[in-house]
Amino acid sequence: MSTQNPIRLKELAADIELELNRLRQLEKDITYVRQEVENDPIHAKLFYENLALKLQSFYTGCERIFSLVAIELNGGVPSGSDWHKRLLDRMMTERETRIAVIRPETAKRLQEMLAFRHVVRSIYGFELDSDRIARLVDAYPKAWAQTQTDVAHFNAWLVSLATNLEAVNPEA
């Protein structure tokens, strides 16, 4: 985006907050299913398939946020077969038009989720590795906490930028 429009920046912040709220609901769902694994180990295999889908949804939600930022502030998402990884890499890098969306340590945690999402999309549910899912479910709270913190910081920056732009040019 060549000139930053305060209204568009606020709309972007609102769109990001909507995605964060969806991810917060997903957090509750993951916690619930995780408890079900503990309560009913006989059916754990079914719960792990469910958790795999939820972990895929988690990364998809994160990527929606990253795509919104890329489209509004960077002129679009990357292209090519590795665009998902390149998008994630770009989010941890400050650009001329914005601060970094996430920290490198957050990106590293999300890279695991991205790789797993590709697996989930490529094989049958019964082929999923329950041990890997369990490890990722254990890693999820930290990945989510870091992502939520980083994106909230970015969103606060967006709102502040919009407010400052409005103060400088009230007719924008």
Residue with tokens 């795509």, as numbered in its chain = 67
pLDDT tens profile 107-157: 999 999 999 998 888 888 888 899 999 999 999 999 999 999 999 999 999
CA gap 86, 94 in Å, rounded: 14
- What are the strands, taking DSSP E only, across the chain? none
Question: What local confidence, expressed as pLDDT, does residue 2 receive?
Answer: 45
What phi and psi, each to the nearest 5 degrees, are found at residue 98? -165, 165
Question: What local confidence, expressed as pLDDT, does residue 23 receive?
Answer: 98
Cα-atom radius of gyration of the chain, to the nearest Å? Answer: 18
Please tell me the pTM assigned to this model. Answer: 0.91
pLDDT tens profile 22-61: 999 999 999 999 999 999 989 888 899 999 999 999 999 9
